[in-house]
Amino acid sequence: MSEEMYAKLTQAVIEGEPEDAELLAKQALEQGLDPLTCVNEGLTKGIQKVGELFASGEYFLPELIIGAEAMKKALAVLEPAMVGDQSREVVGKVVIGTVEGDMHEIGKTLVGTMLIANGFQVYDIGVDKSAAEFVAAVNENDADIVGASALLTTTMLQQKKLIEALEEANLRGKVKVMVGGAPVTNSFATEVGADGYAEDAISAVDLAFRLIDAPA
């Protein structure tokens, strides 16, 4: 019975059915199943499979993103039901967004999605976000990593401002900063004092693992 439910949750993530995933999560709780086991045996297996299918070229981005969406919907039901010190195992918490004055959305969304598929908890704060908004999100979510995207030569300097703001808020010791976007380079990243730069989403995931010292 419970095995069957876990398999269904796995399947809902693989097939990318957010509504089904949410419904199944509710049914699982009604049946008295342990929420943490539902996550570990059901959802996590599903998103891992989605990641594999993506890596092998079978799945495209929408399948990856909708798969992550299905997982999120089910988590929203399961996580509040966890008891005691139960909590989902996440590799690390990442706040990601595009800097102030910059509306380029796709790069950072992709990086965020790839991080989710690799077990990170991701808070995507959107585009055109000021340093203060980044700092607030870091505080609120107790993030380990901040990812800042900038696609314009005129907005990349905001990445520096962000790092200064984190220093001012005494968060710099606690949170790692990674930067990216078309005009950003490794040397620019070093110059502004970021902890790392990645040129695409795949290397961004490797970078994130390195930054929090976890095996990829």
Partner 1 sequence: MTRIEPLQANFDLKVLNKKQLKQVREATLYVLENVGVRFPSDRALDIFQEHGAMVDKDSQIVRLPAEFVLTAMGKAPRSFTLFGRAPDTELLVGGGHSYFATDGCGVETIDFETGDRRLSCKDDVAKMALVADYLSSIAFFWPMVSAQDYGRLAPLHELDAAYNNLVKHVQTETVMGEDLARYAVEIAQVIAGDDDLREKPALSSLICTIAPLCQDKEGIEAAMVFAEAGIPVGFMGMPTMGSTAPAVPGGALTIGNAEAVSAMVLMQLIAPGTPVFQSLLVSGMDPQSAEYLVTLPEKYLCNVAAVQMAHDWGVPALGGTFGLNHAEPATWQLGRDSVYTALMCALAGTDITIGLGMLDASTLLVPEQIIFDDEIYHNHRILARGLDTEMEGIAVDIIENVGPGGHFLSHKHTRSHLRDIWIPELTHPRMEPEDNQNGDIRKRARDKFNQILAEHEPTPLEEAARHEIDTILRNAEADLGR
Would you tell me which residues interact with partner 1 (CB under 8 A)?
54, 57, 60-62, 101, 103, 105-107, 110, 153-154, 157, 182-183, 185, 200-202
Q: Which residue matches tokens 């994130």?
A: 208
Instruction: Yes or no: say if 180 and 197 are a contact pair by the CB < 8 Å rule.
Output: yes
Is there binding between residue 200 and ligand B12 (CB under 6 A)? yes
Distance of CA 28 to the CA centre of its chain: 25
Q: Which is nearer to ligand B12, 36 or 151 (CB)?
A: 151
| Interstrand relation of 121-129 and 145-149 (parallel, antiparallel or unpaired) | unpaired
121 close to 93: Cβ distance less than 8 angstroms: yes
Q: Pick what 149 binds: partner 1, ligand B12, none; C-beta below 5 to 8 Å, kind-dependent.
A: ligand B12
Q: How far is the CB of 107 from partner 1 (least distance, A)?
A: 7
Residue 61 site contact among partner 1, ligand B12, none (CB < 5 to 8 Å, cut-off depends on kind): partner 1
Strand partners, 98: 149
Nearer to partner 1, 41 or 102 (CB): 102
Q: Does 46 engage in binding with ligand B12 (CB under 6 A)?
A: no
Distance CA 29, CA 87 (A): 16
Residues constituting the chain: 216
Q: Is 107 in the site for ligand B12 (CB under 6 A)?
A: yes
Is residue 206 within the footprint of ligand B12 (CB under 6 A)? no
Near ligand B12 in 72-91, by CB under 6 A: none
- Give 41's DSSP letter: I
Task: Tell the smallest beta-carbon distance from residue 53 to ligand B12 (Å).
Answer: 19
H-state helical runs in the chain: 2-15, 18-30, 35-37, 44-55, 61-78, 106-117, 131-141, 157-168, 186-192, 201-211
CB atoms closer than 10 angstroms to residue 159:
28
Q: Which two tokens stand for residue 202?
A: 């795949």
Query: Which member of 25, 117, 151, 205 binds ligand B12 (CB under 6 A)?
Result: 151
User: By CB under 6 A, is residue 204 in contact with ligand B12?
Assistant: yes
Decide whether 45 or 108 has the Cβ nearer to ligand B12.
108
62 binds, among ligand B12, partner 1, none (CB under 5 to 8 A by kind): partner 1
SS3 127: strand
Kindly give the interhelix angle for 61-78 and 106-117, rounded to the nearest 10 degrees: 60
- Tell me the site size for ligand B12, rule CB under 6 A: 27
Q: Give me the residues that bind ligand B12 (CB under 6 A), please.
A: 101-108, 110-111, 147-149, 151-153, 178-183, 198-201, 204
